[in-house]
Every structure is written in structure tokens, then in C-alpha cells.
Amino acid sequence: MKTQPYKQDTGNLAYKVGVTLDRFIKSKQADFPFATGELSQILRDIALASKIVSREISRAGLSDVTGAFGQTNVQGEEQQKLDVVANVRFTRALTKGGEVCAVVSEEEDLVIDLQNSKGKYVVAIDPLDGSSNIDVNVSIGTIFSIYRRKTATGSPIKEEDVLQKGSEQVAAGYVLYGSSTMLVYSTGNGANGFTYERSLGEFFLSHPDLSMPEEGSIYTINEGLTPHINPNILSYLEACKRAGASARYIGSLVADFHRNLLKGGIYLYPATSQAPNGKIRLMYEANALAFIAEQVGGAASDGRQRILDIVPGSLHQRTPVYIGSKNMVKGLEKSLNG
Ligand code: AFP
């Protein structure tokens, strides 16, 4: 039979749409510490749930998903309807995917045991971060950390499977529901960003090999906290201002972090006199972003040590967070510790 090679060049008639997340995950599978496809499946499950959540968010205001759900979570914060929707979507996707044995979620008091005797992975997730921004149409996000369980599969889940240091994450990432929906993840070999093409229902590689500027000119803090924080942090902020830095604060950690990653800057959520451990949750907010920050050349500290070195004592533990451009985080630490 006569054949002909496939000619890709069609001029402008069919422009290339690029590399899908799925293809990218597959192509990078061999880089994973345990290259059996399980971790790839978890990333796919998270991507799937994030597409559904993205759809729900984009309908907010039209469908009945805005406003309070009528309950508070373990942090004592009022749950929004979309917090609950996102929690269900991610947990369901991780359950059906079949690779995860336990989930730690901002929205649940205790560890969720998925009763999956084969699951080798534990996921910590903030299904919808920045939920106070939902009703006002401002960017929100999802943050996730993936760990390999320590104990043998089939045995009951133990504390050591769940309370792992951030440095033990095998993958981490976030989804930003902003002017477009983006997923950024890392398996420990740099980080890549994917933008969601809604009409095709696919994430496409849009930000390969992300890197964060070592210096930046943005500082990100809730200025309302400043009467209650360590004066050394105020001195650091004054120095930033004198050097010409600009303030930017969205109040959604993922959006604030993502902007600073691309442009260079520092995000600060310090300890205050009222909240000696700050506000940000270690296991499902700080750790994943610290992992990404280090993978893109940035840094993340609690003021004294790397975020990734903190040994968690409880699921919903909080930590002060200083994260972003490496030199800015170093400068902050120096100022804080004299
Ligand atoms: P929620 O997910 O409970 O809304 O928390 C969001 C968050 O942890 C983080 O996304 C923000 O950076 C931070 O809180 C904002 O806190 P303030 O409202 O105290 O500035």
C-alpha cells in the first residue's frame, strides 16, 4: 500500500494548541520518585475536579452557589457554599481515582479515611482558598500537597502517614481561578503552569519551567495587621517602601503568591499579638506553596526556619509565612532576627 508521511504544516489554518496537561504528565512520569503512574493519576484527578470547580465558580452569581453554607469549619470560619462544593468535588475525584488512602482538608475536622487499602498517597488540600472573595468576584484558588504514606498499604492510617514535613511532599501545586484558570504543579523537578482552555476542556502548558525573580518590588501584607506585629517587620516594610516597592494585596493566598512568583515580591502573613501563630495553615496552604517557591528559585520561611522543615503537630496548625523572592525573604529574616 502506498503511504505518505503526516505533513504538519497547514499554515494558519490549524494552529497548534500546544501540550495538554495529560500529555505533559505522561511525558514526565519517569521523573517521579515512584514512576508507576499512581501520582500521575492523582494529578489528573485534581485537574478534573478543578475543571468542575472552575465551572461552578464561573456561574457564581447566576446559580445558587454564592453566600454562606450556614456552618462553620474547624477553624471557626463560616463555610461558603462553594467551599463545600469544592470540598466534595476534590474528595470525590480523589476517592474515585483510587490512589489515595487519606485526605486532610481545611473543611474537615479529622483526616478523611478513604477506606482504600491499596492507596499509597495522602493528600492535604484547601479546596477553595480565599473564600471571602467568592461573593465579590475576586480570584480564589485551590492548594494541594501530595505525600506518600509511611506505613504499609492495607494497614490502618497512622499519624505518621499524615503529619509529614513539607520537605516530604512528592508533589504539590495550586489552581488559580482568576482571569483565566491556571494549574501550577511540581513533582520536585521545577514547576510548570497550565492554562485552562474552557472550550476544549483541557489544561495546556502555558508557563513552562517557571522561575521567580530573586529580587522583587512588591510587598504583600494585610496592612490592617501592622499595629499588632513585630516592629522589626515594620522596619523591613519601611525599607521596601524606601526602595520603591509597591503594595499589592488581594487577600487570596494563591493569587497573591502567583503574582509575586511571576513578577517578584514577598508575601507576609506574620504572627500578631492576637494570633501568635499567624493565620496561614501549614499542612494545606503553606507547605504546597513553599514547595513550589523553592522549586522556582524562591524561598519560604516562618521567620526562623524553612517552612518545609516544620514538623507538624496537628492537622490544622497555623504558621507565620514569609514567602517569595529569595533575597526578599532573606532580607525579612535578617530584619526579624536582628
Ligand atoms: P480563607 O480560605 O479562609 O478565606 O482564608 C484565606 C487566607 O488564608 C489566604 O488566602 C489569605 O491570604 C488570607 O487568608 C487573608 O487573610 P486576611 O483576611 O486576614 O487578610
Query: Mind listing the pLDDT tens digit for each residue in 246-275?
Result: 999 999 999 999 999 999 999 999 999 999
Residue 328 has pLDDT above 70, yes or no: yes
Confidence of residue 115 (pLDDT cuts 50, 70, 90): very high
CB burial class (10 A; 0-12, 13-18, 19+) of residue 200?
A: exposed
pLDDT at 64: 67
Q: State residue 131's pLDDT score.
A: 82
Of 281, 280, 286, 269, which is closest to residue 229 (Cα–Cα)? 269
Q: What is the CA radius of gyration of the chain?
A: 20
Name the H helices within 163-252: 231-242
Angle, CA 173 vertex, CA 145 and CA 289 arms, to 5°: 80
Write the pLDDT tens digit of every residue in 39-87: 889 999 999 999 999 999 998 777 666 667 666 776 667 677 888 999 9
Banded model confidence at residue 35, pLDDT cuts 50, 70, 90: low
Ligand 1, atom nearest to 131 Cα = 4
Average pLDDT value over all residues in the chain: 92
Q: What end-to-end distance do the CA atoms of the chain give, in Å?
A: 79
Report the distance separating Cα 277 and Cα 280, nearest Å: 8
Beta bridge partners, 267, equal: 220, 323
Mutate which of 249, 257, 280 for ligand 1 pocket (most atoms within 8 A of beta carbon): 280
Four-residue CA torsion sign, 230, 236, 239, 245: negative
Structural element, H or E, at residue 72: strand 68-72
- How far does the centroid of ligand 1 lie from the alpha carbon of residue 130, in Å? 5
Residue ranges lining ligand 1, Cβ < 6 Å? 77, 129-132, 222, 251-253, 256, 279-280, 285
The per-residue pLDDT for range 209-250, each reduced to its tens digit, is 999 999 999 999 999 999 999 999 999 999 999 999 999 999
State pLDDT tens for residues 283-327.
999 999 999 999 999 999 999 999 999 999 999 999 999 999 999
Amino acid at 43: L
- d(CA 87, CA 73) in angstroms, rounded, equals 12
Angle formed at CA 326 by CA 322 and CA 329, multiple of 5 degrees: 30
What pLDDT score does 80 carry?
A: 78
